[in-house]
Homo-oligomer: A and B are copies of this chain.
Amino acid sequence: MMGSINNLLKSPTTLLILSLIVWTTSPLVVEARVHHHKWEVKYQFKSPDCFQKLAVTINGMTPGPTIYARQGDTVVVEVKNSLFTENVAIHWHGIRQIGTPWSDGTEGVTQCPIVPGDTFTYKFVVDRAGTYIYHGHYGMQRSAGLNGMIIVSVPDGVTEPFSYDYDRSILLNDWWHKSTYEQAAGLNSVPFVWIGEPQSLLINGRGNFNCSLAGAGVCNATTPDCSPYVLTMVPGKTYRLRIASIASLSAFNFELEGHSMTIVEADGNYVEPFVVKNLNIYSGETYSVIVKADQDSSRNYWAALNVITRKPGTPTGLGIINYYLNSPKKSPPTDPPSGPIWNDTTYFLRQSQAIKARQGYVTPPPPTSDRVITLLNTQNKIDGRIKWAMNNMSFTLPDTPYLVSLKQRLHHVFNQKPAPETYDSKNFDVFGVAKNTNATSGNSIYRLKFNSTVDIILQNVNTMTVNNSETHPWHLHGHDFWVLGYGIGKFDPMNDPKKYNLVDPIMKNTVPLHRYGWTALRFRADNPGVWAFHCHIEAHFFMGMGVVFEEGVAKVGRLPSSIMGCGETKRFLRH
């Protein structure tokens, strides 16, 4: 008898089943699997890069507290809005919200904004281990400081396909000294006013602005707020670094001086391991890399964060890899890595293409799709304002959240005409200044057949400036997608699909669209709800760079009243 139990216990699958039984039968353990958080969102003066600025904080912190949970747990976050006059909404980036589309936190899509004084409760299951993020999804609050990480561990008894001694998280960001209000007002101005490149790059909320350049502001180079991030490593030990980018604008290259990294996870999915000297990471992406403390332990090393794909106007963000027993304050004796050449698209493309699903963990994509939506990404001028448009439509959010209007059949609150499916590919020169001067703003969406398979072809082009194209990290809510392929130039619908990786494509929720390139994605429309798909550069989404998908909204359960209060939802008030 004992022997057979022992045999049973040796099988990981059985262990998982056993532990599930324990979870569902023991009240003590079941209770422990609901993680309750009370957050207060408020303004506070912060000096993350030594320069004092008003930031949106959670319980006084930016980045906010990290959420830890195990796969299958329920996370409950009560968000109290203590901003003075400003609303808020928080998105749980990478969490698919299966069965809880109203908890996606996307203002205008899944909920009305949370007004000051109100408390909104987000409740969702973290159904897969991995590295995720959360952030404001309203105006530009993400860049104002409202962001943080979600770490979901594997269930007890399940082992990951890689090993490490220590688990560390690194959140990357860019940072401006002007308020996001000023940035937003500039983006919306005629003529356009650009806030300029970020003043600092932040590693875990710490940067290093040169206070002698601060002008009239309050800058204190010795405040502990801006002491550099230190990653202490014990010689010989192996580290899992969970690296996420919440950048407002920048694409990053992250390098640990003298240390190679083995990429093992991307957006919560296991990656067939491969080694890189440095990691290109786009806003909204998360990675796990394995790093071994195998270098000369008598010194420290730089952790270096550099801007790529835009001409950098920001100094390298610096942290310290501190080999235990050196002082963490000991400066590395070398110059910090300066990263790859900013416009080496071939290099960036190559790393993107190298990311494949890990053997043994491949979920193969459906071999064909039911629908192909091509999205031409252009920069346009509409009514004198600079906008971004997909197939000539620049996206604007309606005043009533789509989830409510679709579920309650309020057909008048947004344009019922389907959003444009493609563009005039034949006559479009992707390398020349775009001539599509007839773009308009609109709030049309894509309604997808439930459980159908959808391909998205993202097509990049030249902006309104000669010889300029920008990288766009596209993020899909409510799903992972398979990354079928990348290319440079105009997508060829006849030949490029033949080169799709249908064998072991990585699944992700955020993917770069490289300069002048295309990216092909596939996903199953199997999650009842309404989901945003947008460029994760906050200013770009603000300027219209997004679309919305509806699928199976009739299957969505009764909507909570808490997501209402704005726009046409007031028609449900009976007093």
| Contact of A535 with B by CB under 8 A | no
Q: A140–B567 Cα gap in the complex (Å)?
A: 24
Is the CB of A562 closer than 8 A to any CB of chain B? yes
Residues of B within 8 A of A182 (CB): 54
Cβ distance A301 to chain B, nearest Cβ, rounded Å: 35
Partner of A117, one of B85, B179, B186, B566: B566
A184 touches B84 (CB 8 A): yes
Instruction: Name the one of B118, B188, B404 contacting A566, with C-beta atoms under 8 angstroms.
Output: B118
Q: Which of A108-116, A166-174, A455-463 is found at the contact surface with chain B?
A: A108-116
Most buried by B among A45, A140, A570, A572: A570
Contact present for A85 and B139 (CB under 8 Å): yes
- Does any Cβ of B come within 8 Å of A185's Cβ? yes
Within 8 A of B (CB), among A48-101: 54, 84-88
Question: Which residues from chain B contact A140 at a C-beta distance below 8 Å?
Answer: 84-85
A396, closest chain B residue (CB): B117
Chain B residue nearest in CB terms to A144: B85
Which residues, 139 to 186 on A, are CB-close (under 8 Å) to B? 139-141, 179, 181-182, 184-186
A367 → chain B closest CB, angstroms: 41
B399 touches A118 (CB 8 A): yes
* Chain B residues with CB below 8 A from A562, complex form: 570
Separation of A185 and B83 alpha carbons in the complex (Å)? 9
> Is A561 positioned at the interface, with any CB of B under 8 Å from its CB?
yes
- Which residues of A are interface residues toward B (Cβ below 8 A)? 43-45, 54, 84-88, 108, 112-113, 115-118, 138-141, 179, 181-182, 184-186, 188-189, 193, 214-217, 397-399, 404, 408, 559, 561-562, 564-567, 569-575
Extra contacts, 7 of them, besides A84-B184, A118-B567, A574-B574 (Cβ < 8 A), are A45-B186, A85-B139, A85-B140, A87-B115, A87-B116, A179-B179, A565-B570
Say how far A559's CB is from chain B's closest CB, in angstroms. Answer: 7
Partner of A115, one of B185, B215, B566: B566
How many Å from the CB of A450 to the closest CB on chain B?
A: 22
Specify which chain B residues have a CB less than 8 angstroms from the CB of A575 in the assembled complex.
404, 408, 559, 561, 564, 569, 572
Residue from A112, A115, A397 with most neighbouring chain B CB atoms (10 Å) = A115
Closest to A88 in B: B85
Q: Are B567 and A566 interface neighbours, CB within 8 A?
A: no
Give Cα distance in the complex from A398 to B117, angstroms.
8
**A185:B561 contact, CB within 8 angstroms:** no
Q: How far is the CA of A112 from the CA of B108 in the complex (A)?
A: 19
Q: In whole angstroms, what is the CA distance A118 to B413 when docked?
A: 12
Q: Judging by beta carbons under 8 Å apart, are B561 and A570 in contact?
A: yes
Q: Which residues of B contact A84 (CB under 8 A)?
A: 139-140, 181, 184-185
Find the residue from A88, A181, A189, A567 having the highest chain B CB count within 10 A: A181
Number of copies: 2
Q: What residue in chain B is nearest A45 (Cβ atoms)?
A: B185
Instruction: Find the residue from A84, A139, A182 having the highest chain B CB count within 10 A.
Output: A84
A117-B45 CB under 8 A given contacts A141-B85, A184-B84: no
Q: How far is the CA of A82 from the CA of B288 in the complex (A)?
A: 41
In the assembled complex, the Cα of A71 lies from the Cα of B186 at a distance in Å of 41
**Contact flag A181-B179 (CB < 8 Å), given A87-B116, A561-B570:** yes
Q: Which chain B residue lies CB-closest to A570? A: B561
Nearest opposing residue in chain B for A115, CB measure: B566
19 contacts between A and B (CB under 8 A): A43-B188, A44-B185, A54-B179, A54-B181, A54-B182, A85-B138, A85-B139, A87-B87, A115-B115, A115-B566, A214-B216, A215-B216, A404-B575, A408-B575, A564-B565, A564-B573, A565-B565, A565-B569, A574-B574
A182 vs chain B, min Cβ distance (A): 6
A565 proximity list for chain B (CB < 8 A): 112, 115, 564-566, 569-570, 573
The residue that A193 contacts in the complex, of B45, B108, B566, with Cβ under 8 A, is B45
Q: Could you tell me if B115 and A112 are in contact, using CB atoms closer than 8 angstroms? A: yes
Considering only CB atoms, which chain B residue lies closest to A216 in the complex?
Answer: B215
Residue from the list B54, B85, B567 in contact with A113, Cβ < 8 A: B85
CA distance A179 to B179 in the complex (A): 10
Q: Shortest CB–CB separation between residue A116 and chain B, in angstroms?
A: 7
Q: Which residue of B lies closest to A568 (CB)?
A: B118
* Distance between A199 CB and nearest chain B CB, rounded to angstroms: 12
| Interfacial chain B residues near A217, Cβ < 8 Å | 216
A54 touches B185 (CB 8 A): yes
Inter-chain contacts of A85 with B (CB < 8 A):
86-88, 113, 138-141
A139 smallest CB distance to B (angstroms) = 4
* Contact between A189 and B570, CB atoms less than 8 A apart: no
Distance in angstroms from A488 CB to nearest chain B CB is 36
- Distance from A45 Cβ to chain B, minimum over Cβ atoms (Å): 6
A408 to B574, CA, bound (A): 11
Q: How far is the CB of A43 from chain B (nearest CB, A)?
A: 5
**A47 to B: closest C-beta gap in Å:** 13
**Chain B proximity of A259: nearest CB distance (Å):** 39
Query: How far, in Å, is A46 (CB) from chain B's closest CB?
Result: 10
- Output the least CB separation between A79 and chain B (Å): 14
Chain B residues, CB < 8 A from A572: 573-575
The docked-state distance in angstroms from the alpha carbon of A527 to that of B26 is 61
The complex places the Cα of A399 from the Cα of B117 at a distance, in Å, of: 5
Q: A399 contacts which chain B residues (CB < 8 A)?
A: 117-118
Interface centre among A86, A117, A138, A399 (most CB of B within 10 A): A117
